[in-house]
Structure 1
Amino acid sequence: MRRISMLAVAAALFLGGCENFVVSEKPWFSAEQAVGTRAVRPGWWMEDAPGCRVDLDAPNTAWPDCAKTVLAPSAWKGVLWALDGTEHMLTGGDPMIAQYEFQTSETAAVPSQHAYLYFGVAALERDAEGRAVVLRYWPTLCGPPRRDRPAAVTRRPWPGLSVKREGGCVARDATALRRAAERSRALDTDAPTLRWLRDWRPGDQGEADWLADQGIRTH
């Protein structure tokens, strides 16, 4: 079983040299706007992997290596903290927005940076209580990628966005950011889908242990 974390995905994008992402020096959203298990069903989730079969009657520790899984803790309120103290949250709305804070160290391979990065998150299916059981998430881009240099910042930023000289772009306000997320959804970008598998049950790895393995905490 391989674990996945949107924190790791976001970090890879932030540090991977792509400049076509909406960023901000200060967060657009606060913890009061966060949604957790009110919007997303708690339990085990898995990224779509054709041909990978999971025995749902077995404990999660026995699932195969092809299963890229993530746990939504039962008491999650929508906010996570990484071990370095940076904050990551899922906020409400349509689409929902995942906000990720990053602080690289002075000794990192890239110069020290502090910024916030954003993903759009859509609930494709919901349970009887209205909680998402199928999620798709994608990076919020500044605009359509350039054909000659896909990793470079766009030449056609979405309305309400301003391109930064050093790369990336900033939104005029939270409304412009959400609209950029909506427009980015329609682009042909890598947009993983996560599906709810089942509730956590005795015999599975404990929630606290799983969070520790991911290098995150919920409070």
Structure 2
Amino acid sequence: MLAVAAALFLGGCENLVFSEKPWFSAEDAVGVGAVRPGWWMEDEPGCHVDLEASSTAWPDCANTVLAPGDWKGVLWAADGTEHVLVGGDPMIAQYQFQTSKDAAAPFQNAYLYFGAAALERDAEGRALVLRYWPTLCGPPRHDRPTSVTRRPWPGLHVQRDGGCTADDVRTLRKAAKLSRALATEAPTLRWLRDWRPGDQSEADWLAAQGIRTH
């Protein structure tokens, strides 16, 4: 999801809800037990993994994620940016995004927002299938799909340099719900199995991704 957020931002998509200050903090995160710990994989047609094999033997096409057993819905990237998954209907994923301070363009720090929904849960209420999508300012333009909408959702304000801001959390959540109904790319993550001895360790996997959860 971090890669998706960065790709959208760097790809020039202007039709995204953002804020200069975060709407949510770590205290708002979903907490332990919101998603089932273990290995998850983003849907990829034609990519199959042997669940009996070690995770280190899975094919390169498998875009897998390891959810630690004590994950509370917060993670930090190597650059110190904080990313939070918040409960509600829909859930909201808040991603802090920073451009490099060494880049030629002016330094930017912003927060992007995704909607997220649990399509399946286990007997304990933990998510087994998650779908997520970008929170848009409004219906995309037919002539320029990546440009900011001409019809922003109520309570959203289009900014001169692109994107839009929300009046409050209620407005943000409603925009996420409306965005879900649009025919936009909505990746799906599915739980595969629990972590097993012989798999890549949680510490090694987190280090390889450049993230931490504490």
- Measured against the shorter chain, the TM-score band is over 0.9
Pairing partner for 2:51 from 45, 51, 56: 56
Post-superposition CA distance 1:37-70 (Å, at most 9, x none): 4211111001111222111111101011121111
Q: What amino acid is the match of 1:80?
A: L
d(CA) in 1 for partners of 2:179, 2:72 = 26
Question: Does residue 1:132 correspond to 2:127, yes or no?
Answer: yes
User: Which residues of structure 2 form unaligned runs of 5+?
Assistant: none
Give the structure 2 partner of residue 202 of structure 1: 197
Pairing partner for 2:150 from 144, 148, 155: 155
Correspondences of 1:23-42 after superposition (within 5 Å):
23-42=18-37
Question: Does residue 1:15 correspond to 2:10, yes or no?
Answer: yes
Question: Does residue 1:118 correspond to 2:99, yes or no?
Answer: no
d(CA) in 1 for partners of 2:104, 2:93 = 25
What is the root-mean-square deviation of aligned Cα atoms in Å? 1.0
Give the structure 2 partner of residue 94 of structure 1: 89
Please report how far the alpha carbon of residue 36 of structure 1 lies from its aligned counterpart in structure 2 after TM superposition.
Answer: 4.2
Give the structure 2 partner of residue 173 of structure 1: 168
SS across alignment from 2:14: coil
Q: What amino acid is the match of 1:145?
A: P
Correspondences of 1:181-196 after superposition (within 5 Å):
181-196=176-191
Pairing partner for 2:136 from 135, 141, 157: 141
Give the structure 2 partner of residue 72 of structure 1: 67
User: Which residues of structure 1 form unaligned runs of 5+?
Assistant: 1-5
d(CA) in 1 for partners of 2:103, 2:113 = 22
Give the structure 2 partner of residue 44 of structure 1: 39
Please report how far the alpha carbon of residue 111 of structure 1 lies from its aligned counterpart in structure 2 after TM superposition.
Answer: 3.3
Q: What amino acid is the match of 1:149?
A: R
Aligned residues: 214
TM-score with structure 2 setting the length: 0.97
Q: What amino acid is the match of 1:138?
A: W
Q: Report % sequence identity.
A: 80
Q: What amino acid is the match of 2:196?
A: R
SS across alignment from 1:182: helix
d(CA) in 1 for partners of 2:193, 2:32 = 14
d(CA) in 2 for partners of 1:150, 1:111 = 25
Q: What amino acid is the match of 1:122?
A: A
Please report how far the alpha carbon of residue 109 of structure 1 lies from its aligned counterpart in structure 2 after TM superposition.
Answer: 6.1
SS across alignment from 2:132: strand
d(CA) in 1 for partners of 2:76, 2:205 = 14
d(CA) in 1 for partners of 2:144, 2:135 = 18
Post-superposition CA distance 1:178-206 (Å, at most 9, x none): 00000000101110011000011110001
Q: Which runs of 4+ in 1 moved over 4 A?
A: none
1:36–1:56 CA distance, 2 compared to 1 (3 A): farther
d(CA) in 1 for partners of 2:198, 2:119 = 30
1:36–1:197 CA distance, 2 compared to 1 (3 A): farther
SS across alignment from 1:195: strand
TM-score with structure 1 setting the length: 0.95
